[in-house]
Chains A and B, each alone.
Chain A
């Protein structure tokens, strides 16, 4: 009996350790290059489309995926949030470019059911970098793999999302892009 209890404790401990250190997801993009300048079309200086993302090395137990784009160089308090999207199906290999800005428009079939949450612009869509001139800002596209379908509702902010997924993140990765606006 004692041995069984010890095993259970060890298994639980392993699970906790796994949650403390999520598996590293490899995040990429056909158009964003890590730690390089973001193309204009993903900013309000261009078409302000949401950028395409890809990911691999998801944990096998992934039940849904969430993505946040945040700028730790801005916000009060930081980060300023540019994008929140969740309930992405575990079969998705990434996000296509230019997700709808019309809330009534359907999501692309490969990410059917995905929901865009509320950004720092108070809109449920992607809005790209618009930093004040002066220094480059860093835009972290963070991908979370979750171990359960959490029944997340529309209208979540980044803070809401992170609170809801706390304890369920089994994989995580990011790609960082940079953007700077010059003074006119």
Chain B
């Protein structure tokens, strides 16, 4: 069981492409659904997965080490790595969330503190072990209970915390890599999004329609018209919506 199917990802690729520079919008375009890994992902993506796995963990910016470990374990089940290719782990979605909690997602920091603690307490009380010590089946079962609001011990409904984390996991997997997720454009490759372009030729359009347009692996901030300086300035504005 996973929480988003690769078939759904591919179906929604067009919407993602249009919103790729606006991660929050990307996330809102996706919703949890039944999972059945069904489509294949390129060998390049799988190779990038191994590269990402080999990368050492960078110092955390906002989460504690135990919170980060738990969050890593959660996002790994929300968009799992499997035979079809890499997932949220390789996209470094948790890294994105950790970074964003000090900026655009700062208003969610307390929700993560209480929500992660509640989720782990719930795992221990219901399944007898910390979430990170459970089998993948039991992790999925716990997450389903959190998603459906059946889990106890949360401030308010567990479903609200689940929706928050899922939304941010989508952002961290499919948003612009500049924000710390979608490492090596894994998320965009996963859904077949060929990348941001400021100009599309007739030949590009034809290739796109034939699903042969090669991904350019460019962030929006690789273009002068949307500079990292302006983005950084924007990120420093606390309380800003989106990521």
Chain A residues close to B by CB (< 8 Å): 44-48, 101-104, 121, 123-125, 127-128, 130, 181, 184
Shortest C-beta distance, A43 to chain B (Å), equals 8
Given contacts A103-B34, A103-B35, A44 and B151 within 8 Å (CB-CB): yes
Taking CB as reference atom, which chain B residue is nearest A121? B148
Segment touching A, from B85-93, B135-143, B164-172, B207-215: B135-143
User: Contacts of A48 on B, CB cut-off 8 Å?
Assistant: 126, 141, 144-145, 150
User: Contacts of B149 on A, CB cut-off 8 Å?
Assistant: 130
In the bound complex, CA of A46 to CA of B125 (Å): 8
Taking CB as reference atom, which chain B residue is nearest A122? B148
In the bound complex, CA of A125 to CA of B153 (Å): 23
The residue that A123 contacts in the complex, of B138, B144, B151, with Cβ under 8 A, is: B144
Q: Please determine whether A101 and B126 come into contact, CB atoms closer than 8 angstroms.
A: no
Shortest C-beta distance, A142 to chain B (Å), equals 22
Taking CB as reference atom, which chain A residue is nearest B136? A102
Shortest C-beta distance, B123 to chain A (Å), equals 11
User: Contacts of B138 on A, CB cut-off 8 Å?
Assistant: 47
In the bound complex, CA of A48 to CA of B127 (Å): 9
Given contacts A101-B140, A102-B140, A184-B152, A46 and B36 within 8 Å (CB-CB): no
The residue that A102 contacts in the complex, of B127, B137, B148, B153, with Cβ under 8 A, is: B137
Shortest C-beta distance, B117 to chain A (Å), equals 15
User: Contacts of A46 on B, CB cut-off 8 Å?
Assistant: 126-127
Q: Please determine whether B148 and A127 come into contact, CB atoms closer than 8 angstroms.
A: yes
User: Contacts of B125 on A, CB cut-off 8 Å?
Assistant: 45
Shortest C-beta distance, A46 to chain B (Å), equals 6
Interface size class of B (residues with CB under 8 A): 20 to 34
22 residue pairs from A and B, CB less than 8 Å apart: A44-B126, A44-B150, A44-B151, A44-B152, A45-B126, A47-B126, A47-B141, A48-B126, A48-B150, A101-B141, A102-B35, A102-B137, A103-B1, A103-B36, A121-B144, A125-B1, A127-B148, A130-B145, A130-B148, A130-B150, A181-B152, A184-B153
Given contacts A45-B126, A47-B126, A127-B144, A101 and B1 within 8 Å (CB-CB): yes
Q: A47-B126, A47-B127, A127-B145 are in contact. List 17 more A-B contacts (CB 8 A).
A: A44-B126, A44-B151, A45-B152, A46-B126, A47-B138, A48-B144, A102-B137, A103-B36, A104-B36, A123-B34, A123-B144, A125-B1, A127-B144, A127-B148, A127-B150, A130-B145, A130-B149
Shortest C-beta distance, A111 to chain B (Å), equals 19
Q: Please determine whether A102 and B1 come into contact, CB atoms closer than 8 angstroms.
A: yes
In the bound complex, CA of A88 to CA of B34 (Å): 22
Chain B residues close to A by CB (< 8 Å): 1, 34-37, 125-127, 137-138, 140-141, 144-145, 148-153
Given contacts A103-B34, A103-B35, A184-B153, A44 and B145 within 8 Å (CB-CB): yes
Which 3 A-B pairs rank lowest in CB-CB distance, beginning with the nearest? A130-B150, A44-B150, A44-B145
In the bound complex, CA of A45 to CA of B141 (Å): 11
Q: Which of B35, B144, B150 has the most CB of A within 10 A?
A: B150
Shortest C-beta distance, B133 to chain A (Å), equals 14
Shortest C-beta distance, A86 to chain B (Å), equals 17
Taking CB as reference atom, which chain A residue is nearest B145? A44
User: Contacts of A104 on B, CB cut-off 8 Å?
Assistant: 36-37
In the bound complex, CA of A83 to CA of B146 (Å): 18
Shortest C-beta distance, A25 to chain B (Å), equals 29
User: Contacts of B35 on A, CB cut-off 8 Å?
Assistant: 102-103
Shortest C-beta distance, B139 to chain A (Å), equals 11
Taking CB as reference atom, which chain A residue is nearest B148? A121
Taking CB as reference atom, which chain A residue is nearest B38? A104
Taking CB as reference atom, which chain A residue is nearest B153? A184
